[in-house]
Amino acid sequence: MSKNIFGKHNSSLIVLTLMILGIKSIGRYELSKYLNQSIAKTRSLLNLLVNQNIATTSGKSSGKKGTSLTESGNKLYRDLSKHFQLYINPDLGVLINDLIPEDRSYSILFFNSDITKVTGLYERDLAVRNGAEGSVTLIKINNSWQFPDGFDISNSLSETFEVSKLFNSCIIVFSREISDSCVGAIAVAEYHLYEEIINILSDYF
């Protein structure tokens, strides 16, 4: 996880929360499972987003009724999504599915980076240090997805990868717990895009 820059919350948790809220409205109980945080800390994080007019609750409590992004929050989500996108448990394609152990949750992070710096080894180690079991890394060269060693697998991928036209790198992080795969993926995003992410967040906090 990244260093603390937003009071008692760090940027990794804020980014992961924004990515999830960008997908759907969610209550703090369910969100806490994605974040691997206590209900109290999740509530505090959501209160921060509400106070910054980034999120809004649909009732007195965000526990059951859920929290969603405001207009400002959706703009923040779109700004971040220009640099990376997170998908949770989407279809991967036969070849990638064969590389992931059964009964694992996984997250896909699409992002832009200098592909000469995307080796798959450091990304995997970073994801594992943040709780994941492992990862699979892909890079895109001449509009074809391949492993960093050059093996092209574009024809074996699912439609999920068709949304990735803006991005040249991808990491699929897997673990038994969905929170570990999500946190591991965001750790990789912050490693490659830390300055971009912090600059965007700074406009809203």
Q: Is residue 205 part of a domain?
A: no
Least confident of 10-19, 22-31, 61-70, 138-147: 61-70
Q: Is residue 59 part of a domain?
A: yes
Q: Is residue 202 part of a domain?
A: no
Structural domain count, the chain: 2
| pLDDT above 90 (res 154) | no
Q: What are the φ/ψ torsions at residue 107 (nearest 5 degrees)?
A: -125, 145
Q: Are residues 184 and 92 in the same domain?
A: yes
What's the pLDDT at 160? Answer: 79
| pLDDT above 60 (res 61) | no
Nearest to 188 by CA among 142, 153, 141, 138: 138
What's the pLDDT at 155? Answer: 84
HSE-CB at 59 with a 13 A cutoff on CA atoms is 10
Indicate the average pLDDT of the chain: 89
| Contact predicate 114/188, CB 8 Å | no
Q: Are residues 92 and 140 in the same domain?
A: yes
What's the pLDDT at 90? Answer: 81
Q: Is residue 19 part of a domain?
A: yes
Q: Could you tell me whether strands 134-141 and 144-146 are parallel, antiparallel, or unpaired per DSSP bridges? A: antiparallel
What's the pLDDT at 45? Answer: 93
155 lies in which domain range? 85-192
What's the pLDDT at 97? Answer: 76
* Residues whose CB is less than 8 angstroms from the CB of residue 149 and which lie 6 or more positions away in sequence, other chains included: none
The region that residue 131 occupies, defined by phi over 0 for left and psi between -120 and 50 for alpha, beta otherwise, is left
What's the pLDDT at 107? Answer: 95
Q: Is residue 62 part of a domain?
A: yes
* Residue 3 pLDDT level (bands cut at 50, 70, 90): very low
Dump the DSSP string for 57-90: ESSS-TTTS-EEE-HHHHHHHHHHHTTEEEEES-
Q: Is residue 199 part of a domain?
A: no
CATH code for the domain in which residue 14 is found: 1.10.10.10
Tokens (6 digits) for 55: 């999120």
Q: Are residues 75 and 91 in the same domain?
A: no
Q: Could you tell me whether strands 169-175 and 105-111 are parallel, antiparallel, or unpaired per DSSP bridges? A: antiparallel
pLDDT tens-digit readout, 81-137: 999 999 998 877 766 778 888 889 999 999 999 999 999 999 999 999 999 999 999
Q: Is residue 128 part of a domain?
A: yes
Q: Is residue 145 part of a domain?
A: yes
* Residue 191 pLDDT level (bands cut at 50, 70, 90): very high
- One-letter amino acid for residue 77 of the chain: Y
- One-letter amino acid for residue 145 of the chain: W
| pLDDT above 70 (res 65) | no
Dihedral angle over CA of 92, 87, 105, 186, nearest 10: 130
What's the pLDDT at 166? Answer: 86
What's the pLDDT at 93? Answer: 75
> Which DSSP category does 91 fall into?
-
pLDDT tens-digit readout, 172-185: 999 999 999 999 99
| pLDDT above 60 (res 192) | yes
Mark which of 81, 115, 141 sits at the end of a domain.
81
Average pLDDT rounded to a whole number, residues 34-45: 94
- One-letter amino acid for residue 110 of the chain: F
